[in-house]
Amino acid sequence: MSESELDLDLDELSSAEDFLDYFEIPYEAKVVHVNRLHILQRYHDYLAAIDLPEDEDAQRAVYREQLVRAYEDFVVSDAQTEKVFRVFHLNEPQQAFVPLGDLTTQVKGAPSV
């Protein structure tokens, strides 16, 4: 299967600014400068969660819509709040369940439960 014109165009884009410019999405340079990797990762995640239409024009509209969505996430929020990358989840409190019976079997002389 040959690549569409859209696919070929997208292959040439490398930065968040390139994508935003290509899809003619107005943006604040400050927002993109601080969050460019987060925006691109969120964009990738949004695209991965949907089925793309077959029609190239419809695909272009979906790509643009999802990029606007990803960009706007960081206009109204920030990277630490959005937690796009795994590293932001590492210091979150972890919950663990240990049955009381397991504890008493490890402590010598503990009463059974």
CA dist 103 and 21 (Å) reads 60
pLDDT digits (tens, 9 = 90+) for 14-73: 999 999 999 999 999 999 998 898 899 999 999 999 999 999 999 999 999 999 999 999
pLDDT of 90 > 60? The answer is: no
pLDDT at 1: 45
pLDDT at 89: 45
Which sign does the torsion angle of CA 44, 50, 54, 59 carry? negative
Cβ atoms of 59 and 6 closer than 8 Å: yes
pLDDT of 113 > 70? The answer is: no
